[in-house]
Every structure is written in structure tokens, then in C-alpha cells.
Amino acid sequence: MRRFLFLFLVTLLATSSSAGDLTVNAKVERAMNGEFRSDSQVARNRYRHPVGTLEFFGLDDGMSVLEIWPGSGWYTEILAPVLRKKGHFAVATWDQDVEGQPGYRYELPKEMQAKFDTNPEIYDQVKVVSFSPPESASLGEAQFYDMVLTFRNVHGWVGNGIAQQFFDEFARVLKLGGVLGVVQHRAKEGTDPAETARKGYVSEAAVISMAETAGLVLEARSEVNSNPNDSKDYEDGVWTLPPSFRLEDVDREKYAAIGESDRMTLRFRKPE
């Protein structure tokens, strides 16, 4: 009887512990497959490797994390529930008070806020920062964040000629010892960023140079988001590939077989 009671209590405690104190990786796994996500968003998991990517960046409980320009919120949908109870999570989206921006910069933040309002049990703790350099160029208090993350954005900043301003601001708001995590469509080395950015790609050397100019140190690279099948020579750029499929039904099966782009995954740290 005592042995049975002992085994029952051990099982109960183990079950309680696993349910109430999940590891960060387990939280990411649960969030990426959450029922609150659309089928199309979940379908991107196999291309974007959120568990491996966020583990590589060093995401942990209790961190203050800022995601830059989340777009449709693919990673926001994962980070918000993971950091909701332990940590601080903010998204920097386009400033609605800045005039003359492309239309999507006004529509996507409205769609994101509507999603937040509809699902408070997921997004009620997410803070929103307005950020549209050069007019609206502050991410807030200096040395506030443990981690700044950006996914597939750098080409746009390079194309607008303001990329260095972004990296300088990331360095300013990172705590000493804080991490900048970058995922970006990867151009071939030795290429001109101004040229490749038009098609959505930037070389690793260019990204590393901008981060180092801002005072950050490259700590590690990962190939978790690499794709050797991406030839990077499409007339319509990276948007030829999924999920954009800019050519619509033209050679769709061919581009679907290639998958999403080849991406660098870089971890930088602000020296202490």
C-alpha cells in the first residue's frame, strides 16, 4: 500500500511539474502549433524552425524582448504566449502618425491590434512601440531590453538607405550583455547589398558590418534556416518563393518544392 501511494505521489508531482513549469522550448512548441493560429501560419513552421531559432538566440523565461516590424505577426503569435506570464514582450510596428508611408504600414498594424483585441488570453501583455525611422526613430528607454529580434526585414532598411540607423538604435536599447537576433534572406557573399536588397536578399557580411559598426559583436551563426535549394536569381526576387508566390500559378509547384528562402541566422551581443 505504501509503495503504491509513493508511486502515485511521484507520478502526480511529475505531472504537475511538467504541466505547470514547461521549458521555454516546450512553450515554443506548444505556441507554434496553437489552435489560435491559422493553418497557413502553422504551415510555415517547417520552414522557419521557431524552436531551433529561438533556442539559438537564447530566449529564456523572464526576459524583456522586442520584436522589430512583425508584419503579419508570424513570430509574434509564438513569442506573446511564451513570454506572457514570465517576461516582457513588445513589438515595434510602424508609426501611424507618420505620413507618406506605403499603405501596408497602416493596414498591418490595424490588423495586428484587432488580433490582439480578439485574443486577450494570448496578447493582453504585449506592448506596442511606434517606430518609423527616420521620422519616428526611438525604441524607448536605453538599455531596457535583454533581446531584440528581427525576422526578414533588413533588405527593406538597406533599400531605404537607413539600415545603419536601425542597428544603432538596437544597440542603444539593448542591455549590456543583451542579444540581437537576426534572420534575413541571405545573398551570395561579395554581392552589392544595394543591388541584392531590391530582390529581398542581403549578404551576411553586410549585416555583420552594420551590427559591428553599431558596437555589437557577432557571437555565433546558425544554419537552422538555411536552404541550399534557393538559387536567389528570380526575376521577382525572394517574393517568387512561398509564402508570397508573386507569380501566382506560374511554376507554382516548382517554387513550392524549393520552399522558403535561404536565410542567415546570426546572434550578436552587446559587450558588457
- 0.85 exceeded by pTM: yes
In percent, the amount of the chain with pLDDT more than 70 equals 93
Instruction: Point out which residues pair with 64 in neighbouring strands.
Output: 88
SS3 45: helix
Distance CA 54, CA 57 (A): 5
pLDDT of residue 11: 45
19-23, 99-103, 130-134, 148-152: segment of lowest average pLDDT: 19-23
Query: Cα–Cα distance between 140 and 172 in angstroms, integer?
Result: 9
Q: What is the pLDDT of residues 194-231, one digit of tens each?
A: 999 999 999 999 999 999 999 999 999 999 999 999 99
Q: Which domains are assigned to the chain?
A: 24-269 (3.40.50.150)
Give the list of residues 6+ apart from residue 131 with CB closer than 8 angstroms, or none: 68, 69, 92, 93, 94, 95, 137, 138, 139
In 119-219, where does DSSP find H-type helix? 120-123, 154-159, 163-173, 193-196, 204-213
pLDDT in tens, 72-89: 999 999 999 999 999 999
